[in-house]
Amino acid sequence: MKRVCETSDVAPQAGDAVLLKTGWGRYFMTDNATYLEGEPGIDESAAKWLTAQGVVAIGADNMALEVLPGTNHPEIMMPVHQHCLVEAGVHIIENMVLADLARDGVTSFCFVVLPVKFKGATGCPVRPVAIL
């Protein structure tokens, strides 16, 4: 993850959201069998590096943020989710449409997340907005 940030000339800072284009989003609603069979994503070490930078949210264009099936802890279901949400208090945003930003070479922007207010919920749909 650190190398990806260096290559993209970005340095996550405290309070930032980091959005990752894995390319997997291209299968959503076009090839659902492929989309659901597994996915690229980050592993626990990448999540820990990002949370150590003080980010408040991590989003991706896949369905679970993390690589599936998981790699490091076969006995732990979704270790990236457990680390981000439970241990670090970092929000996860899934199924994002990031292809246009990546195509245009946009690596830094003002990011606004507009959540739906559900009382007592542990998650909700959001409207992510990139302001360039």
Chain segment 79-95, per-residue pLDDT in tens: 999 999 999 999 999 99
Asked if pLDDT for residue 73 goes beyond 70, the answer is no
- Mean pLDDT calculated for residue range 96-122: 94
For residue 6, what pLDDT is reported? 85
| Nearest partner of 99 among 35, 28, 50, judged by Cα | 28
Q: What share of the chain is helix, strand, coil (3-state, %, to 5)?
A: 30, 20, 50
- Given a contact cutoff of 8 angstroms between Cβ atoms, the answer to whether 84 and 47 are in contact is yes
- Mean pLDDT calculated for residue range 25-47: 93
The CATH number of the structural domain formed by 2-131 is 3.50.30.50
Please tell me what DSSP assigns to residue 132: -
